[in-house]
Structure 1
Amino acid sequence: MPETIPSNLFLLFVFLFFFVFLISFFTVLILILRKEKKFNRETILLPISPSFKESAEAMLKNELEKSTKEVREIIKTSFFQLISNYQRETEKISETVSVLALDFKNTLKQRTNEIFEALKVELKKSLPEIEQQNRQISQAILEEARERITHSEKEIEMIFQEVKKEFLEKKAEIEKMLENYKQEKIKEIDVKIFQILADVSKKVLGKAIDLSTHEELVFSALKKAKEENFFKA
């Protein structure tokens, strides 16, 4: 970077400091003039005529505007100069970077070609060993795959046997439930048959039959119902 940029920055800071100081000074002076009536009555003050006060305020205002305008122009000029210098330096840096990038690209390409050629030579030397290693690796992979398949088949067989066992247990449980349900229904039918026979014998014979005759009729009816497959689903 050239020396003009730090100098311009320093000059800009000096003008900004001067500008702030000038504004502060004028502001304090105006406040003093505006607040003169609030001073202690015992304080001895020099008389200030209204015309002098107005002239002073007008002069301060003009000087403030003039100073502000000058500072703005100085800041604007310095800023544009800084931008111009920055652009020139940026262009120089960009050109330098482009040259360095091209050199780096060429060097990298050359180095890459050298490494590639060296790898080709080493690969040719190591090719028989690599082929032998590949055959060994392939054989090991096949053996491992065969072991895994055998292990998987055993696991599948175990799972199948467990499922089969559970199925048979559930089947036996369901058959037992069906048999119990069937026996309960038979008992209900027996009760209904006893009741029907009792009612019929009472209506037909005018009296209820004895227990032995009753049981004989019931057993006969049940035997006939079984022979006709009445209780099959």
Structure 2
Amino acid sequence: MRYFIELAYKGTNYHGWQIQPDAKSVQETLNKALSILLKSEIDILGAGRTDAGVHAKQMFAHFDFDSDFDKEKLVHKLNSFLPKDIAVFKIHAVHPEAHARFDATKRTYEYQIHTKKNAFEADDSWQYGLPLRTDLMNDACKILFEYTDFECFSKTNSDVNTFNCSIQEAFWQQSEDKLLFTISADRFLRNMVRAIVGTMINIGLEKVSLDDFRKIIESKDRSQAGFSVPAHGLYLTKIEYPYIK
């Protein structure tokens, strides 16, 4: 039988989602906890990979187990067993062919910036104090909808078959000393959101024009795009599936 596990984690203490040699990962931590509690070797497969230091307010992964079990009781046991920076919300029974990665229809990320020093947000949001033209940054968001190939924002030497992504929404919001970027797509490339944010920071500084932004995308060259903003401001916030409400 196949199950989806729905969870959240703070990525500060982990070397990303994916199992890494000689480094602590969220996937490995969950594998160990499930294997101990279910008394069987469990290997979960996530909806995607988050880099070291990136957080997830909602993540899904699937695993197989031969028999049924009390899902609510296992959620309670997992939350007692796991470290405080990983929280399990729910376990869903799904059809045997359901796939956490390939069946996701929409993924949403947020990037959080605080513009004044804040002792309580230093690890969870990026501090950036220079004034930014958010109107120009939102104009750049509209340009993203004109394209599907985003190789220019992908980590170099990425092992992917296509650089095409269908961006469904992208916008900036500012409230007092907080700046929030939200972006949704069917899929994302490695480092894509952090590279988009870094490039848009340069647009907000008026170092890069909107015409330049189009040329960057059309170049398909990562070196033409902006810097990659720090990981600790990035959050995977939502993943959608046709069979999970």
TM-score by length of 2: 0.17
Whichever of the two has the greater Rg, that structure is 1
Greater share of helix: 1
TM-score by length of 1: 0.18
- Higher relative CO (Cα under 8 Å, sequence separation at least 6) belongs to 2
Greater share of strand: 2
